[in-house]
Amino acid sequence: MATCRKLTKQLMKELLDSIDTILLDCDGVLWHSNIAVPGAAETINKLRSMMYTCHFSFLQGKQPIFVTNNSTKSRLQYQEKFTKMGFIVSKDEIFGTAYCAALYLKHKLNFTGKVYLMGMSGLEEEMKLHGIDYIGTGPDNVEGQILDHRADNVVLDPDVNGVVVGFDQYFSFMKLLKAASYLKRPNSVFIGTNIDQQFPMRNSELIMPGTGSLVRPVEVASNRTATTLGKPSKFMFECIQEKFDVNPERTIMIGDRLNTDILLGKNCGLKTLAVLTGVTSEEEILGYQGSEKEKERELVPDLYIESIGHLGKLLD
């Protein structure tokens, strides 16, 4: 039986004593799309700046670090979004998969060459900032008709030796064809920023497909498997550790999704806290506690609370 406790004022005191760093997922925790979760900015700003005494020692504020699988924005673009919503934040504290994809290519693979990039401006910006050559962004559709599955007019770039798939609203058959074709080249690199199936949508009849539904077709067509970087892959935590002196035992991961956020925390030996403002319900968490499936019990967070705003109130 895995145990998850609801965060109370008493537990909050113990928690604050035991952590220095707070990793936070963004969508579903701090905001929904472009609407902030009530109290989110106040809570984070307070945690950062709080100075208080406890057990006769003087404690410093907590370091927030933002960890998102969303690849559409660069760190700078995220900083703007955070600032608009009232968060005090430095771009160095923001780890999105656009940034991490650039780090992975640059530092993990020592990649030289050119990538075929499926992605939006955030991914482009991070590639540029890290000096990684790329092609492929923007619309690219089949012109005329592909008859008898011939595509005689498609010309590939001889220098491309890698494919990076992030969220791309211009995803198209032509892009799929080109990505798969580049992946036919021996030793070509294949990275997916993340494998989330959908973006969270509240009260909508629509499903907004996530990057996972763009990575999979490239995998199917190319008959290859992408290296994927987002949570729950440890790579994002490694990126954080490169930049911050983070002690996993004194770090908590706060998120709304069990199989990405909470699992990242578990994979990296962090404490874990789920909020109920995103994709996971209280019933689900409590149900998983006594699940017969080990995979489900592994997803149970240490703690849960209604929302980041409720957490803020426990600080008063």
Among 207, 249, 287, 295, binds its own copies (CB under 8 A): 207
Q: Is 184 in the site for its own copies (CB under 8 A)?
A: yes
State the nearest-atom distance from the C-beta of 222 to its own copies, in Å.
6
- For its own copies (CB under 8 A), the number of binding residues is 49
Q: Catalytic site residue 148?
A: no
Structure tokens at 96: 């999105």
Q: Alpha-carbon distance 60 to 44, whole Å?
A: 14
The verdict on 203 binding its own copies (CB under 8 A) reads no
Which of 14-22, 88-96, 200-208, 244-252 is the region at the interface with its own copies (rule: CB under 8 A)? Answer: 200-208
Q: Which of residues 55-84 bind its own copies (CB under 8 A)?
A: 70, 72
Q: Which stretch binds its own copies (CB under 8 A): 53-61, 124-132, 218-226, 294-302?
A: 218-226
Residue 302 CB partners (closer than 8 Å, separation 6+): 4, 5, 271, 272, 273
How far is it, in rounded angstroms, from Cα 230 to Cα 67?
A: 9
Would you give the DSSP letter of residue 151? Answer: -
What does each C-alpha distance from 133 to 71, 139, 175, 200 come to in angstroms? 18, 18, 18, 32
One residue of 212, 278, 309, 312 binding its own copies per CB under 8 A: 212
Query: Among positive and negative, which fits the CA dihedral 84, 229, 163, 224?
Result: negative
Residue whose entry in the numeric block shows the structure tokens 């690219």:
140
Question: Is 27 flagged in the annotation as binding?
Answer: yes
- Residues in contact with its own copies by CB under 8 A are 27, 33-34, 70, 72, 139, 141-142, 145-151, 154, 156, 168-173, 176-177, 180-181, 183-184, 197-199, 201, 205-210, 212-214, 216-218, 220-223
